[in-house]
Structure formats: structure tokens, C-alpha cells
Amino acid sequence: MADYHSLIARAVAALPQSTPDSRQAVYERARKALFNQLRGIQPPVAEADIAAEGRALEEAIVQVETELAAKAAQAPQPRGEASTPSRAPHSIVSAKPVERAPAEIEDSNWRDAPNASIASASEAPSREFQRPPAPLPPAPKPKRSMRLILSIAGVVVALVAIVGTLAWQLREQPEDLAKLKPEKSASTTPESGKINDRVGGQGSAVKPAAPRSPAVPVAQKAEMWVGSLAEPTKVDKIYNGSAVWRLENVGGPGEPVGSAIRGDIDIPDAKLKMTLLFRKNTDATLSASHTINVSFTVAPGSPIGGVKAIGPIQMRRSDAQSGEKVVGIPVAITENNFLIGLMRGDHESRNILLLRSLAALDLPMQLNDGRAATINMEKGPSGERVFADAIDAWSK
């Protein structure tokens, strides 16, 4: 179950003045984020599970209010001034949603998310041994159902967003987040110039291309590099595999249908399969420009034994030993299932440029037995086209 208490306590601590009314606004936003996430999961989450998470949130609110009341009782009161009693939190049934103010979430707010230690620990490996990277710190191993854990992860991210919302409001610069657009990258380097030519950028002499037929999926090269448990920077085993890239249409109930990049990676000798799903984020409660769902399927008798944690995806040239990180936060959803939320703002345009222009992807990870590993995937011509078509669709 999510640590609602610490999230609520941080949100209250960020208030310029901790009054009953200001705290109630924070609680209502938390309730709204919770129930929007739980009731938006498909197939639907059981009402009993929704009620249980709601009770956990209310218990955290009561605990925070109790702690504040205790601190107020211990603090000396000015003569002739009575302390203002704390307003009791609303019950789940009587809670009325309060519209959530849009906000630009800074990088520091993402680091409050569960398992955010993975992001800080998954730094680029040493130049001497570029892959696989150093082992990542252990991540919690949830035991709950897939649907419920997915919903809780979304709620936690939404509650972290509340803290960022309050901090943004204190800057006294109200602005509609929906009107913000990432800055356009300057086309001054040879690489960016080639990209603009390929997509028919402004000032390019290339004529608009005629509509193309969908790319035919073709298997491309993939490898899994596994490090030694005794020497994490030493490659102990290399497994050969394949990667197939497809363009798909995705969308849930109440969401617009949009283009997504699907990658199916198969490592036969390791008895491991991985699926990547890149899509543009349409959930206003998540502070991410795009999301990457990463799921692993481990067959019985696999020498890998499962994946404990992952790091940010890195993009590189096919002939390069190291690449550039796509800036985002990996979060463990359940066993062998993860979500990477890509950063908004200044990082968004750079992330999109990396995804479009570089030909290979690396995903660092830590296995259940503590070994470091990396799955290296090439786009190939068909994959390049899939990424270009999806990114063009996202920009419309």
C-alpha cells in the first residue's frame, strides 16, 4: 500500500500558511487524484480495493491532523489568543472533488516518487566498461494484484504532483499549463539539420512527402549483456535475440485514440521476452510528457530469473559504446513490470530528438539475483520509420 502519510505531510509542509482551509484543499486534491486513478483502470478495480485505498488515505489525513494538533498544543500561545481548532477531514463518501490547479512539476518532485532511487543510481557506466552499468539498488517487490498496483502507482505520482502544484503557486506566476509548449531545439548542428530535412522542417528544401503505407515489421538485432555477480562491470554472458517494432493505435475509456510505438524483444536462450510501449501521455494527473511501459515475461527455467529494477533508457548510434539518457523516472509497478515517465518542459524536446534521431536503444537493469544487465536493441530501417511516424503523430 502506498505511503500516503509522507506524501500528505510533505504537501502540508509546503503550504505558506498551514490553515484548516488550505489543508482541506490539499486533502480534497488527494482524494480526487486517488479515485480518478482507481476508477480509470481497465478492467475495473474491485470496489473493495478502492474502498481500502480510500480508507488508507483518510487514515493518513487523520494522522497528519493529529500530529499538527499535538504540535499546536505544545507550542506557547500568545496571551488572549486562542488556538484555532483543526478542521476534521471529510469522509470518503462526503468528499467533493476540487479541481486540480495545473502546474509545471520540477525534476525534484519526480524524485519523491516511489523507487526514485533507481533514477539517481542508474548513472552512465564507466568508460572502461560501458555495458552493463553498475547494479541498481534493490526495489520493493509488491505482492498485490497487477490492476491494483497500477492504480496505486498512478495515485502516488498524482499526489506527488500536488506538492509541485503548491510550490508552483507560491511563485505567484499563475499560468495555464495547457498553454505551455516545449522550446524548439535550435537547428544549428549537422545532426539537427539532417533531422529537419528528413521531417520537412521549416526552411528545408525537401518537399512534403506523400502519405506512406505502414511499415512492415522486420526483426532487428537485439542482445542481452549480463554482468558477473562478483565483478559487476565485467560482462559474464551475452545472449542474442531479436527486436520487432510496430506502430499501434492505443486508447482507453474516455481517452483519445493515439499512436504508440510497440517493441517486442525476444531473448530465446535467456527464456526472456520484453515488451516496450511508448505513447504520449493524455492523463492530466500524471506529470509526464510521454510514458514507456516496460514488461518482462520470464519462462520457467530461465537463467535470468526475473528483473528487480530498471534504469532510464539510453539512445546511441549503432557504432557507439555509450549513449544519451532519455530523461525520465522509472517506477516499479509490480513484479517484472515498470513504468517510465518522461519529463516535461525543457527536457521534452531533447527526449523526442533522441528518440527520433539515434538508431539504438539500451535498457539497463538489475536482475533478481543482484547481477547487472543491459538489453541492447537496434531500430533498423523499419524501426526508424515506426519511430518517425509515431513522433510525427504525437506533434499534431
Residue ranges covered by each domain of the chain: 1-74+87-100, 217-394
Distance, in Å, from the CA atom of 240 to the CA atom of 158, rounded to the nearest integer, reads 39
Lowest mean pLDDT among 1-15, 63-77, 97-111, 245-259: 97-111
pLDDT in tens, 357-372: 999 999 999 999 999 9
pLDDT in tens, 103-156: 333 333 433 443 433 333 334 333 444 555 545 455 555 455 556 666 666 656
Distance, in Å, from the CA atom of 120 to the CA atom of 133, rounded to the nearest integer, reads 13
pLDDT of residue 144: 52
Q: Would the pLDDT of 209 be above 90?
A: no
Residue of higher predicted confidence among 53 and 214: 53
CA 132 to chain centre: 22
Contact 337, 146 (CB under 8 A): yes
Mean pLDDT of 333-349: 92
Q: The pTM is what?
A: 0.49
Contact 113, 210 (CB under 8 A): no
Nearest to 315 by CA among 367, 241, 211, 387: 387
Share of the chain above pLDDT 90, in %: 36
